[in-house]
Chain A
Amino acid sequence: MASSIENNNEKLTLKSSDGEEFLVEKHVALQSTLLQNMLDSDCSSADVIPLPKIDARTLALVLGYCKKHADASSSKQGELNSFDSEFLKDMDMGALFNLVLAANFMEIKGLLDIAAQKIADTIKDKPHQEVREIFHVENDYTPEEEAAVREENRWAFEGFP
């Protein structure tokens, strides 16, 4: 605890599932509630914090997001919003799912929100067959079962094409 002042400029090392190490400034790492809790409870004495569920490519993206948000002052909300929308713009679905899982694991609320929103926008207003195709959802209902589910929730389908 005596070292708490030094800690302000301290860096920590995060290790991805595929073994790559990332040196991160503490204030950037604090964007993650998981890391914040680890630092608060002084579990950070370990030199390297392993993140066994997050690969290097995803972790680099996550840390880019955290750095932008940690460095921007609160008065630059507009700039952050445009950063957020650019951030996910051309991301493929695979990367997006990795990101949403990483944000969930590391407890980075803002990132989880924008990634979930992006996935939601892809589902929205699309026929089910198209949603199944985009996300490769395998329809494990038999035709009879699917008809039964439709019938059970008929009140939610009435009026829809």
Chain B
Amino acid sequence: MGSKRRHQKKKTKLIGGEEEEEDRISSLPDSILHQILSFIDTTSVVQTSVLSKRWRYLWTSVPNIHLDYDAFPGIHCETKKHRFAHFVNQVLSLRDASSVFRFYLRCTLFLDADLVKNCICYAFRHNVQELLLWPDCNSYLEHSEFPGCLSEALGISSSSLISLTLACHAFGMPPDKPLRLPALKTLRLAGCCHDYANLITETVGNCTNLETLILDDLELNSLNINAPNLRNLELHYYDDDCSCGSCFESMIVVSAPGLTSFKLEAMEGHALPVFSAASLPCLHNVHVCLKTWSFDEYESYDVPDEEILQRMPLNVMKMLEQLGEADYVTLSMDTVEVNGYVLRRRHPQALHRPSLCGSISQRISAFKNDIQLGKGKEIPPELLKAIEESRLSLFFSRTKLLLSDALINR
């Protein structure tokens, strides 16, 4: 075995079968090393150049670029901004000509608009497939309006981009033109407020291959989605527990015949979704979570308009009726409580309309988890008991049938 060590450190197999002192990582093919380095922040990737000669130029063709201003050393100041900008420019100019698969740029503080524009243009020129621009940021960004240059850069039509994640929180203004991304399959936008309604509608209309649309921290009066190939739609309304704005109804109109999964969450916010959809024949999974409204506890907040509140249970029920064709419907407990509360406190006459909903038994509150009702699934006995004592089942046509059968069997 020792004879193998002729040339510095080469393969050394010990008798136990364990390999030691063998530089396995450096002998991996470039493609695997690129894959490994794709999981690492670009600063660390460039730093691997000092490991050995094998690593000197590896970083220049790693397909993922991951730039995080917050993780860059130093506290936020002009010097750090300059250092970061220099770093980014060096990376972009020294990289080889290979394509970029994923480009990630994150900062929670203001970055020079030209730098952002350079990044986007670079990514598009290198056939980027996934672009993430400050994806997990909240409202601390210091942009006051959608920077013109960013808008301009995103206005470039990219035929390679498949997935775009963009947080718009602190942009006072949406981009002036809808995005033109014909290959786009996944669009995730965060922080879209009222001005964005048209942008979303037009962008979704432009992106005919769109399969997944996720809107986080949504704050819109109306949302019109017409997407023939859309399969997944997730709407998460702005979750703001210290808001003192007034309640508003958010009209959601969906035309997506291929939709299989729909998720709606409106927690603690002040948006009351009003949903209407053309037929959704493919719907498989529905998840609706609406937060309890307990205005008594928040005297200081604007209690919603009485008329809006009166309409609310009806609107929620209509939505659930339209989604009732799904194979699986998961209702957050709070949904029941929303109705329970409003029905009991604000809209007692709804109790007399059996086509809408029965009264909600207090006993259902015993369920701490979501209630999932699936076709052909056995109903837990506690739920059956609760249902017997209330009439929760009337929400869903199919589920009702199932539940009725189950009750008859008993």
* Complex CA distance for A100 and B25, rounded to whole angstroms: 10
Q: List which A124-161 residues lie within 8 A (CB) of chain B.
A: 124-125, 128, 131-132, 135-141, 146, 149-150, 153, 155-160
Check: A104 CB closer than 8 A to any chain B CB.
yes
Q: Do the beta carbons of A141 and B86 come within 8 Å of each other? A: no
Expressed in whole angstroms, the Cα–Cα distance for A123 and B35 within the complex equals 13
In the bound complex, residues from chain A placing their C-beta under 8 Å from that of B43 are 156, 160
Cβ-defined contact, A116 with B51, below 8 A: no
| B164 sits at the interface (CB 8 A) | no
Report the bound CA distance from A124 to B40 in whole Å: 7
Interface residues on B, range: 35 or more
Residue of B nearest to A145 (CB): B53
Q: A155 contacts B86, CB within 8 Å?
A: yes
From known contacts A94-B24, A104-B29, infer whether A132 and B87 are also in contact, taking CB-CB under 8 Å. no
Q: Which residues of B contact A155 (CB under 8 A)?
A: 83, 86-87, 90
- Bound: A132/B53 CA distance, A: 13
Q: Which residues in A have their C-beta under 8 angstroms from that of B83?
A: 155, 158-159
Pairwise interchain contact B52-A141, C-beta atoms closer than 8 A = yes
B296 at the interface (CB under 8 A from A): no
The reply on A93 being an interface residue by CB < 8 A is yes
A135 — which chain B residues lie within 8 A by C-beta? 23-26
Per the CB 8 Å criterion, the residue count for chain A at the interface is: 36
- Known A-B contacts A155-B86, A155-B90, A159-B73; A139 and B51 likewise in contact (beta carbons under 8 Å): yes
Interface of A is mostly: helix
A105-136 CB contact bits vs B (8 Å, 1 = yes)?
00000001100110111011100100110011
Among B14-22, B197-205, B379-387, the one that faces the other chain is B14-22
The A/B interface has a contact count, at CB < 8 Å, of 110
Residue A100 contacts which of B28, B86, B87 (CB distance < 8 angstroms)?
Answer: B28
Is A101's beta carbon under 8 Å from chain B?
Answer: yes
Q: Does B397 contact A (CB under 8 A)?
A: no
- With contact pairs A135-B24, A153-B46 given, residues A123 and B52 touching in the complex (Cβ less than 8 Å): no
Interface residues of B in 1-57 (CB under 8 A from A): 8-9, 18-26, 28-29, 31-32, 35-41, 43-44, 46-56
Rounded to whole Å, the gap between the CB of A135 and the closest CB of chain B is 4
Residues in A neighbouring B31, C-beta threshold 8 A: 104
Closest A residue to B87 by beta carbon equals: A155
Contacts of B80 on A, CB cut-off 8 Å?
A: 159
Asked if A97 CB lies within 8 Å of chain B CBs, one says yes
Determine if B354 is an interface residue (Cβ-Cβ < 8 Å): no
How far is it, in angstroms, between the C-alpha of A101 and the C-alpha of B33 when the chains are bound?
11
Most buried by A among B20, B26, B36, B38: B36
Most chain A beta-carbon contacts within 10 A, residue among B20, B28, B72: B28
Whether A159 lies near B74 (C-beta < 8 A) is yes
How far, in Å, is A118 (CB) from chain B's closest CB? 9
A146 close to B86 (CB less than 8 A) = no
Which parts of B314-364 form the interface with A (CB within 8 Å)?
A: none
B336 CB to closest chain A CB (Å) equals 24
Contacts of A139 in B (CB 8 A): 51-52
- Interface pair A132/B51, CB less than 8 Å apart: yes
Q: Are B52 and A153 in contact (CB under 8 A)?
A: no
Q: In the complex, which residues of chain B have a beta carbon less than 8 angstroms from the beta carbon of A149?
A: 49-50, 56
**A125: B residues at CB distance < 8 A:** 44
- Residues from chain B with a CB closer than 8 A to the CB of A124 are 39-41, 44
Task: Tell which of B40, B56, B72, B74 touches A123, judged by Cβ atoms closer than 8 Å.
Answer: B40
Bound-complex Cα distance A101 to B19 (A): 16
Residue of B with least CB distance to A113:
B35
How far apart are B75's CB and chain A's nearest CB, in angstroms?
10
Give the contacts of B187-215 with A (CB-CB under 8 A).
none
Known: A128-B51, A149-B56. A137 touches B23 (CB 8 A): yes
Complex CA distance for A153 and B91, rounded to whole angstroms = 10
Closest CB-CB distance, A85 to chain B, in whole Å?
Answer: 15
Contact yes or no, B87 A120, CB < 8 A: no
* Contact B32–A128 (Cβ < 8 Å): no
Q: Mark A63-103, 1 if CB is under 8 A from B, else 0.
A: 00000000000000000000000000000011001001100
A positions within 8 Å CB-CB of B: 93-94, 97, 100-101, 104, 112-113, 116-117, 119-121, 123-125, 128, 131-132, 135-141, 146, 149-150, 153, 155-160
Q: List 25 A-B contacts (CB under 8 A).
A: A97-B24, A101-B28, A101-B32, A112-B35, A116-B39, A119-B25, A120-B39, A120-B40, A123-B44, A124-B40, A124-B44, A135-B25, A136-B20, A137-B51, A138-B26, A139-B52, A140-B52, A149-B50, A153-B47, A153-B50, A157-B47, A158-B73, A158-B83, A159-B80, A159-B83
Extra pairs beyond A124-B41, A138-B52, A139-B51 (12, CB < 8 Å):
A116-B38, A117-B39, A120-B36, A121-B39, A124-B40, A136-B24, A138-B8, A138-B9, A150-B50, A156-B87, A156-B91, A160-B47
